[in-house]
Amino acid sequence: MKTGIFICHCGHNIKHTVDVKRLSEYFKQYPHVTVSEDYPFVCSEPGQDMITESIEKHGLDRVIIASCAPSLHGELFKDLLRKKNVNPFLLRRVSIREHCSWVGDDIEANTEKAKRLILSGLYGAAHYVPLEEKQVEVNKSALVVGGGVSGLSAALFLSKMGMDVFLVESKAELGGHVRELKSVWPSRLPGAKIVEDMEKELKGRPNVEIFTSTRLVNFEGFFGNYEATLETPSGERKVTIGGVVVSIGFAPFDPGIKPELCYGRDPRIVTTLDLERAGDDLALPEKPRVAVLHCIGSRDEQIGRSYCSRICCINALRAAEAVKERYSDSYVESFYMDVRAHPRGGEEFFEDTQEKGVLFTRANIGEIVPSPSGVLLRGEDTLFGETFEREFDLVVLSAGMSPPETSKEMASLFKISLDKDRFFLEAHIKLRPFDTAVKGIFIAGSCSGPKDVEESINHGRASALKLYGFLNLGYAFVDPFISIVDPKRCSGCRMCEQACVAKAIKFDEQKRVVRVEEAACMGCGLCNATCPSSAISLKGYVDSVIDDEISALLEAI
């Protein structure tokens, strides 16, 4: 065996608290370590060249890269091995940054820890065997869950790319919340027009099937070959698809959760959406006094919503503007923490609104007291440090976004994760905002965090493009980390078969041993841990790998 160890400085990040030089020297003494080097950025092109050159020069058959967490650069380093005709699964990544240099300050201790971590990689990798990457056929069809703007744009795009699309909406009508908006920022177009245009176009496409008032009740299968069970008004329907765009939007924050807002108890206290819906029906005096309250249900630790809802400042400004436009003699005062007029043109709009006479007061509202003459607001002006008490004829609440009601349910159907606020968790907040942990399932729009209409459209399309990129070839590679049976060791006790969640294990009555359905195996390794003689083992995580990793971590080897 010829092992190459490459230890990354990651610039400052690792080198700062780990003595990388000492490590690279240390590992040179191991008998089957042929190369042991440290390098400023192993991921950079010269760093990669160093690895490929070493493979070529020394005929390495194990490559250990001690650098950042394995989730980063995974494919990159595998490709290097592929390029040199070394099976990419003979690569071992050791995280000495996220799990070592960044979590400890002491150089000695960190260096020792890094040594053990690399040692465990070294001993673990010694038991690696080449694995095969298999191709599977994928269906060039997609399920789009949620018919709001992001779902509509995703469905439209996919359909135009020639994919069969199934669009599922739980409501009776497509369009989501946008349909109700009178004027969408920044285009100022009526929301209904935007969604109706999309809906019309979508309905005219032959390869799109739209299910309204439909619930997704079951979802199984694997990448490229998923099966979704839909509960449609006309009965249950199963569809086979290659992948999914989940765009189930958001739930408007219900101000009723905060009883002190008196929402729902007094008709003079409304949300921005109520205001839009009411239109001219508002019974307001000639010169109405209107208060607009920002950050309702956002940035509010008390109710466990620390996040900013991103859209409500603009909504608040629009509400203020609407009142001002309708009642030019009105007194409009906006109470805010920070005015986050960040969207395109938002800042200018904020300025214009101020110029139109809307007052902005940085304040904490303490109390809302409805009385016959008006709604009394008591609070503290945080700029002047004074308390105030003012009466209004109308209080408009700019409510934030809550995660969709079904986020938990959907997350468990799709086996994707939620973030702490119960929005969907993206694979990487910046670089992979549409991907989830599950291959072929993408998220779009506000279900991964508050977004405005423009951003939701962006997301829908980008997410759909990602999915298309995965499916357009008609085939894909499957993960090789699946279970395998050693029939000579198998006692045929069928414990694994009983435990297997994916039902991927089948019993051969003739030979009295089990076998694995490769396409169905999810690679969790439960069977491996269940089998007392480890006759079934999970490739890449076989007992000997983990056993030796344990020993090496404890330096007991």
Partner 1 sequence: MDERERQVLVVGGGIGGITAALELASCGINVTMLEEGPSIGGRMIQLDKTFPTLDCSTCTLSPKMVEVALQPKIDLLSWAKPVAVAKKGRGFSVTILKKSRFVDMKKCTACGVCSEGCPVVMKSEFNMGTGPRKAVYIPFPQAIPNKASIDKREERLCNAACMDACPVGTNVPGYLKHISEGRFADAYRLIRATNPFPSVCGRVCYAPCERVCNRGEFDEPLAVRDLKRFAVDSFDIACLEAPKVQRTGRKVAVIGAGPAGLACAHDLALEGHDVTVYEALPEPGGMLRFAIPEYRLPKEELKKEIDYIRKLGVDIRCGAEAGSAAAAGEIRGSHDAVFVATGAPKGLPLGVDGEDLPGIVDGIRFLRGVNSGEHASPGRQVAVIGGGNTAVDCARTAKRLGSDSVRLVYRRTREEMPAAAEEVEALLHEGIEIDFLAAPVRFEGVGGKVAKMECVRMELGEPDESGRRRPVPKAGSEFTVPVDCVITALGQAVETSFLSSIGVALGKGGVIAIDPATGATNVEGVFAGGDVVTGPAYVIDAIAAGKKAARSISAYLRGEVPAGEARRGEPQKLSAEMHSALTGRIAHERRIAMPEEPVGERVGDFREVGLGYSPDAAMAEAGRCLAGKVEGCIECGECERRCEVKAIDYRMKDEIVEMDFDGIVLAPGFDLYDPTEKRELGYGTLPGVITGIEFERICSVTGPTGGDILLNGRQPKRFYFIQCVGSRDRQSGARFCSRVCCMYTAKHASIVRDRIKDAEIYVSYIDVRAYGKGYEEFYKTTQENGTFYIRGIPGEVVKGKDCLVVRVEDMLSGELREIEADLVILATGVRPHKGIEDLCGMMSLERDEYGFIKVDAIAPSKTNVEGIFVCGMGSGPKDVPDTVASGGEAASRCMEYVSEGSTS
Partner 2 sequence: MEEKMEKNPEIIGFACSFCTFKASEMAGSLRMKYPEGVKLIQVPCSSRVDPAFVIKAIFEGADGVFVAGCHPGDCHFIKGNFYTRRKIAALKELFAAFGMKEKLRLFWVSAAEARRFVEKVTEFYNDIKDRKNAG
Partner 3 sequence: MQAKRITNGELEGALNKLLSEDQYLVMGFEKGSGNVYHRIFKEKLDNYALTNPVFATNGALYLRRLFAKGAQIVLMLRPCEIRSYIELAKLTQIEPADIIAVSVDCFGTVSSKKEGDVPGAEELKGLAKDAEKARWACANCRERRGVVGDAGIRLDANGTYWAVSYTDKGKTFLSLIDGEAEEAPEQMEVGPGEVRAAFQVDMKEFAKDFSKCIMCMNCRDMCPVCYCVDCVFNGDEYLPKGDALFNKVFRTGSTGMPRGKELFHLIRMFHVSQTCVGCGACEEACPQGIPLTKYFKGVSERLQGMFSYMSGRSLSEMIPYLTFVEDELKDAED
* Residues 6 or more apart in contact with residue 420 via CB below 8 angstroms: none
Q: Mask of contacts with partner 3, 272-311, x by CB under 8 A?
A: ----------------------------------------
Question: 50, 131, 251, 495: which one contacts partner 3 (CB under 8 A)?
Answer: 495
Determine if 370 is a binding residue for partner 2 (CB under 8 A): no
Q: What is the DSSP letter of 445?
A: G
CA-to-CA distance for 60 and 42, rounded, in angstroms? Answer: 17
Helix (H) or strand (E) holding 157: helix 149-160
Between residues 141 and 537, which has the closer beta carbon with respect to partner 2?
537
Query: From residue 541, how far is each of 121, 126, 234, 481, 549 by CA, in Å?
Result: 12, 12, 46, 8, 10
**Max Cα–Cα distance, the chain, nearest Å:** 90
Classify residue 167 as exposed, middle or buried by CB count within 10 Å of its CB (0-12, 13-18, 19+). Answer: buried
Question: In this structure, are residues 171 and 212 in contact, taking their beta carbons and an 8 Å threshold?
Answer: yes
| 135, interface contact from partner 3, partner 2, partner 1, none, CB < 5-8 Å by kind | none
In this structure, is the dihedral angle defined by the CA atoms of residues 161, 162, 164 and 165, taken in order, positive or negative?
A: positive
Question: 1, 11, 28, 366: which one contacts partner 1 (CB under 8 A)?
Answer: 11
- Within residues 323-382, the interface with partner 1 by CB under 8 A covers 336, 338-342, 344-348, 351, 362, 382
| 441, interface contact from partner 2, partner 1, partner 3, none, CB < 5-8 Å by kind | none
Question: 58, 188, 415, 432: which one contacts partner 2 (CB under 8 A)?
Answer: 415
Question: 25, 49, 79, 106: which one contacts partner 2 (CB under 8 A)?
Answer: 106
Closest CA to 313 of 341, 337, 333: 341
- Within residues 421-450, the interface with partner 1 by CB under 8 A covers 423, 428-431, 433-434, 448-450
Question: 40, 494, 506, 517: which one contacts partner 3 (CB under 8 A)?
Answer: 494
Q: Which amino acid is at 358?
A: V
Determine if 524 is a binding residue for partner 2 (CB under 8 A): yes
| 48, interface contact from partner 3, partner 1, partner 2, none, CB < 5-8 Å by kind | partner 1
Between residues 187 and 534, which has the closer beta carbon with respect to partner 3?
534
Question: In this structure, are residues 408 and 303 in contact, taking their beta carbons and an 8 Å threshold?
Answer: no
Determine if 480 is a binding residue for partner 2 (CB under 8 A): no
Residue with tokens 């357009």: 472
Query: From residue 449, how far is each of 145, 256, 299, 305 by CA, in Å?
Result: 16, 21, 14, 12
CA-to-CA distance for 478 and 224, rounded, in angstroms? Answer: 10
Question: In this structure, are residues 140 and 242 in contact, taking their beta carbons and an 8 Å threshold?
Answer: yes
| 103, interface contact from partner 3, partner 2, partner 1, none, CB < 5-8 Å by kind | partner 2
Between residues 476 and 505, which has the closer beta carbon with respect to partner 1?
476
461 strand-pairing partners:
none
Question: 102, 223, 350, 392: which one contacts partner 2 (CB under 8 A)?
Answer: 102
Q: Which residues bind partner 2 (CB under 8 A)?
A: 69-71, 95, 97-100, 102-106, 109-110, 112-113, 116-117, 120, 411-412, 415, 417-420, 425, 437-438, 481, 499, 501-502, 522-526, 528-530, 534, 538, 541, 543, 546-547, 549-551, 553-556
